[in-house]
Structure 1
Amino acid sequence: MNDKKRQRKLSDFDLSQTKRALPDSRLRPIVISLDSDDDENDGTENCPGDVKVEVTPVTTPCSPAEHQETLKQRPNANYRTKIDPEEIADTAGVAGSSSDVFTTKAVTNEESIPDPDVVVIEQKSVFVDVTASKQTLVSETLAAKVEHQEILCPLCGLVLTHMELHIRDQHCDSCAGTDKLDTRRSKKPLPPLPDVKKIHFSCYSIVVDGFNYANDPSVTQYFLSHFHADHYIGLKKSWCQGTVYCSKITAELLVYKLRLSRERLVILEIGKTVNISDRVTVTCFDANHCPGAVVFLFQEFDSAGVVIERVLHTGDFRSNDELINSINEFTQNAVIHRVYLDTTYMYPSFHFPMQKSVLDVTSRFAEQINTIGMQKLFKDRQTSILSFIANPLTRCHRYRYVFLVGTYTIGKEKVAVALAERLGTKIFLPKNTPKHRIIQTYEETFPTHLITHDVTKSCVHIVPLRTLSSKEGMQRYFKPISHLYEDMVAFYPTGWTFKNGGKFARLYETLEEKIEHTKWLLNYEEIDTMNEGTLFRQYNRSSRFQVFRVPYSEHSSFKDLSNFCVKMTWQEIIPTVNLHDPYMVSQMKQWFLAWKRAQEQITL
């Protein structure tokens, strides 16, 4: 079936013409199904509300009397299916009178034998009666096999093709460390602390982002890089293994969400050095991840006050030149002996544009939609009959569009800020909701007076990502505010699905290939800029609401990691993600070596 062909409705079928065109021997009863929620055409004709018309073969000729005899011989055969009563009523009203097309009949007993001149199609308490003596609806469906390209998780390699969109993101974000995880302790004994969670100095040890492990009496100082569940998992009100060091925002979230005692918290300020022992200090830098996320730089001194070791722990971070320059300026370009690196996107094929470019292009795109209009911008001439009905009411709308931005419990808010500033509006957030109370802990990171609780003063709304995961979720959100906004557009920020057309699909197996690719990549600026076509290509004419996936990530891309490790002076890199795969670990070690060699060659 041609995908570009307009989907036919029941009202498109001229039943009388159909009957004259086909001999009686080719007439078949049909089954109308609403079982699938899939937006894509799967090879069957779709009716309003994604009603699938499926051909059900019946022995010919199929007169009503013969059909009843068939049912008696096959008691399990039925034509019951899911049908929305409103869809039936709407279809009957458009196509003609009930005597010409469909009628509905209340049946109280499923065992009742229907009228011999009627074929009954049932959905719960709703029956569709097709009067076979007058009209017979005929549809021949061509089976079209739709081939889908396999989608793999970039971290563990799990096939995600058949998962729903929000389930894919939940899986990948749990691998990447950006979504909620189950924070409840298991009844089984907790495992011992892995070496990657502990940082050893000459006199003692500390732990970074490791709270769901057996108590180690030798450790009393714990550091939390940011408030994402895969990092704080294990923390709760009764946790009593030591003191937690973190940023002010993270501390407020720990108190509010986990009821952790403030007495167990030590707040660290960005750029301020704090002594955590007689000979060890810690300094925090902005990790450019979620609000409150920090990079830790530990320094150990000898008795004379000379630095004998520097250890950098990135937590989760989105590297950029500002962070690199801040660290190099603080250390005066001195060597960092150990770097615990966020290796979420340690794949040469994963690249996405710089955050600033994504925010600029996305906000400008939203401005075009708001100014020009969706249909005119995309040259879409199709107009729903509902638009004609609603046209007299458009003057009552306060705004043309409401723009939804999906966010995590904490994170991705920068997209909403960029849209609001570009459109000259505020960001709406319902008062006293869980999201509002969370944002209150870091509201100072937003521009002044940008948050509002008055829906009439904003056309940019922050919503959970799950709201954008289904048509029903979006419809539920839009219905109460439809008197204020003419239409709704959504942006789904995510980085892991962004592709570069296979340009970086090579694995670069040898060390020399890795070195050459690193030097070439650092000078290749095209991938740093987002192409507006990335958004335009996602427009779906058949969707009630448009959802645009934005390649916005708060983790470092492969190029970001390459740039960070080439511009920093280091001795050893210890990966913190993707440690489950021995092959991946060996590849990461080779890339670290390639970055060191590239650094030496570029310096020369």
Structure 2
Amino acid sequence: MGAREREMEKGLVSIDRWGDGSQAYFLTHLHTDHTSGLSSKWSRGTLFCSATSAELLSTKFPDFDLSLIRVLEVGVTQLVLLRSPSSGSEVRLLVTPIDAHHCPGAVMYLFRGEFGCVLHTGDFRWEIMNERAVMAKKTFMDALEGSKIDILYLDNTYCHPSFSFPTREVASQQVIDIINSNPDHEVIIGIDTLGKEDLLLHISQALGMKIWVWPERLKTMHLLKLNSNFTTNTSLTRVRAVPRYSLTHETLSSLNTFHPTIGILPSGLPWRSKFLEKTPAAVAAATNLNDKTPLTKLHQYAFSVQYSDHSCFSEIQEFIRTFRPSKAAGLVSSSSYCINPRYYFSHLYENHHIRDVSCKDFRSKLDRKFEYEQRDNFVCKREKLSSLGGRVGAIRKGKLGAKIAEGEESEHLIL
């Protein structure tokens, strides 16, 4: 099969991108940086996602047209039938959503067809000893059926040797230890609108108390069936989870004028500059990637714990070593330091013909070329509620000419 025949034709699939020009749109998860362009009024085509994402989508986008949603069962290979924009012939697309272990509803997508085999990780954490990652690896192997991955679109957020994280289980215990060592303090934990639920549950269960969350976050917890561990009543707990952006030096200083309070930032990000003097020299020192000394206490009132929902450098390396793609492209770009997986791991690729060059040369000479040659055809995002079950099941057969044929191995969607 020639190289041109192994490329996915432009106009078929978009992943986490919501503009015109595709027949099928795939959502990896509902974090804001992956839903830019998606709205309650969006109606450009069929949207494929996991069941959990479908549950949450209507709360993020009220009045979203649920007839556009097609729920894909995680771990199950399904056949999606599309039409070639150029010839009108049928295109058979085998899709396997795989648990990304990132946030509720997050999945990776494995695509197979005449174009070859393409894997899009979205955002993911590859803790290989974790039970969910073990199951994900088995799902991968079963779905691949001995095939190799031709193109890997990789979450390379922390693809730099300076990033080395403990497992989330270890990091969770570190958070609990900080809380227990400050028994007379109120505790503020900075989180996003989705994600870190396992951490909060671990804290709640270990301390035997509920955790305060803001009302919108409690609604999400209800949808995830986790509401028994959370409350909006501040009198019931000394531990509060707040929007991450609101946890600052100024906030903690103000809170400490009323009651002793500590803040905890669970993240792989270098948060030090947020709590230091805002001079160029201080910020540069705080974000130095060559400083591998683990920093726990950021400030008089603030602690940082490396609880990450993205894979660190060694986990990315293990992932690539396991699946040995022919080509790979990072989903995240950075001008400040090199996180290009091909710079570090090209020797692990099935066809490792790329010569060693400087990181700067690598970005300028290869990244741009690969992006335009491959990504124009396989469009994907690059960075910088009450239950829907019955309702979606009833609606999904209705519009866009979709026909669902029940089969022993997969669900056939004719779009």
Same fold, TM exceeding 0.5? yes
Give distance in 2, aligned partners of 1:403 and 1:368.
11
- Structure 1 residues 224 and 261: CA distance shift in structure 2, 3 A: same
Contact residue 218 and residue 231 of structure 2 kept, 8 A:
no
Q: Aligned to 2:51, which of 244, 248, 256?
A: 248
Q: Aligned to 1:590, which of 343, 357, 362?
A: 343
SS at match of 1:320: coil
Q: Aligned to 1:565, which of 315, 320, 323?
A: 320
SS at match of 2:125: coil
Q: What is the CA distance between 1:326 and its match in structure 2?
A: 3.8
Q: What is the CA distance between 1:498 and its match in structure 2?
A: 7.4
Question: Do residues 495 (structure 1) and 242 (structure 2) align?
Answer: no
SS at match of 2:103: coil
- The aligned residue for residue 156 of structure 2 is 343
SS at match of 2:124: coil
- The aligned residue for residue 305 of structure 2 is 550
- The aligned residue for residue 230 of structure 1 is 33
SS at match of 1:336: coil
Give distance in 2, aligned partners of 1:252 and 1:474.
38
Where do residues 410-559 of structure 1 align in structure 2 (5 Å cutoff)?
410-430=194-214, 433-441=215-223, 443-444=224-225, 446=226, 449-472=228-251, 475=254, 487-497=260-270, 505=290, 534-535=295-296, 537-538=297-298, 540=300, 546-559=301-314
Give distance in 2, aligned partners of 1:201 and 1:489.
51
Q: Which deviates more from structure 2 when the two are superposed, residues 332-341 or residues 287-296?
A: 332-341
* Partner amino acid, structure 1, of 2:23: T
* Partner amino acid, structure 1, of 2:123: D
Give distance in 2, aligned partners of 1:367 and 1:567.
39
Contact residue 326 and residue 351 of structure 2 kept, 8 A:
no
- 1:318-346: CA deviations, max 9, x gaps? 22212434423443554122211112222
Gaps of 5+ in 2: 1-5, 82-90, 273-285, 353-415
- 1:25-70: CA deviations, max 9, x gaps? xxxxxxxxxxxxxxxxxxxxxxxxxxxxxxxxxxxxxxxxxxxxxx
* Partner amino acid, structure 2, of 1:311: V
Give distance in 1, aligned partners of 2:250 and 2:334.
37
Q: Aligned to 1:578, which of 328, 333, 355?
A: 333
- 1:365-396: CA deviations, max 9, x gaps? 322333xxxxxxxxxxxxxxxxxxxxxxxxxx
* Partner amino acid, structure 2, of 1:287: A
Q: Which deviates more from structure 2 when the two are superposed, residues 262-271 or residues 413-422?
A: 413-422
Q: What is the CA distance between 1:361 and its match in structure 2?
A: 2.0
- The aligned residue for residue 125 of structure 2 is 318
Larger RCO (CA within 8 A; separation ≥ 6): 2
- 1:449-499: CA deviations, max 9, x gaps? 2223443433322111233214346646995xx6xxxx3222112212179
Contact residue 11 and residue 23 of structure 2 kept, 8 A:
no
Give distance in 2, aligned partners of 1:237 and 1:421.
36
Aligned CA-pair RMSD: 3.6
Q: What is the CA distance between 1:578 and its match in structure 2?
A: 1.0
Contact residue 7 and residue 116 of structure 2 kept, 8 A:
no
Q: Aligned to 1:362, which of 135, 156, 175?
A: 175
- The aligned residue for residue 280 of structure 2 is none
SS at match of 2:157: coil
- 1:433-464: CA deviations, max 9, x gaps? 222223333x23x4x72223443433322111
* Partner amino acid, structure 1, of 2:345: F
SS at match of 1:284: strand
Question: Do residues 258 (structure 1) and 61 (structure 2) align?
Answer: yes
- Structure 1 residues 580 and 240: CA distance shift in structure 2, 3 A: farther
- The aligned residue for residue 113 of structure 2 is 300
- 1:381-437: CA deviations, max 9, x gaps? xxxxxxxxxxxxxxxxxxx4332211112123333222222212122235xx22222
- The aligned residue for residue 207 of structure 1 is 14
- Structure 1 residues 584 and 489: CA distance shift in structure 2, 3 A: closer
Contact residue 222 and residue 242 of structure 1 kept, 8 A:
yes
- Structure 1 residues 580 and 300: CA distance shift in structure 2, 3 A: farther
* Partner amino acid, structure 2, of 1:495: G
Gaps of 5+ in 1: 1-198, 302-307, 371-399, 507-526, 541-545, 600-604
* Partner amino acid, structure 1, of 2:264: F
SS at match of 2:349: helix
SS at match of 1:276: strand
Give the % identical residues. 26
Q: Aligned to 2:140, which of 327, 336, 339?
A: 327
Query: Whose radius of gyration is greater, 1 or 2?
Result: 1
- Structure 1 residues 552 and 265: CA distance shift in structure 2, 3 A: same
Give distance in 2, aligned partners of 1:402 and 1:333.
54
- 1:119-156: CA deviations, max 9, x gaps? xxxxxxxxxxxxxxxxxxxxxxxxxxxxxxxxxxxxxx
* Partner amino acid, structure 1, of 2:101: N
Give distance in 2, aligned partners of 1:365 and 1:242.
48
- Structure 1 residues 336 and 252: CA distance shift in structure 2, 3 A: same
Give distance in 1, aligned partners of 2:145 and 2:50.
24
* Partner amino acid, structure 1, of 2:342: K
Q: What is the CA distance between 1:284 and its match in structure 2?
A: 1.2
* Partner amino acid, structure 1, of 2:36: I
* Partner amino acid, structure 2, of 1:222: Y
Give distance in 2, aligned partners of 1:502 and 1:251.
37
Instruction: Using structure 1 for the length normalisation, give the TM-score.
Output: 0.47
- Structure 1 residues 207 and 491: CA distance shift in structure 2, 3 A: same
Q: Which deviates more from structure 2 when the two are superposed, residues 322-331 or residues 415-424?
A: 322-331
Count of aligned pairs between the two proteins = 319
SS at match of 2:262: strand
Where do residues 51-70 of structure 1 align in structure 2 (5 Å cutoff)?
none
SS at match of 1:353: coil
Contact residue 168 and residue 307 of structure 2 kept, 8 A:
yes
* Partner amino acid, structure 2, of 1:210: R
Contact residue 311 and residue 336 of structure 1 kept, 8 A:
yes
- Structure 1 residues 491 and 415: CA distance shift in structure 2, 3 A: farther
- The aligned residue for residue 408 of structure 2 is none
- The aligned residue for residue 80 of structure 1 is none
Instruction: Using structure 2 for the length normalisation, give the TM-score.
Output: 0.67
Give distance in 1, aligned partners of 2:351 and 2:313.
15
Q: What is the CA distance between 1:504 and its match in structure 2?
A: 8.0
Contact residue 222 and residue 245 of structure 1 kept, 8 A:
yes
- The aligned residue for residue 309 of structure 1 is 116
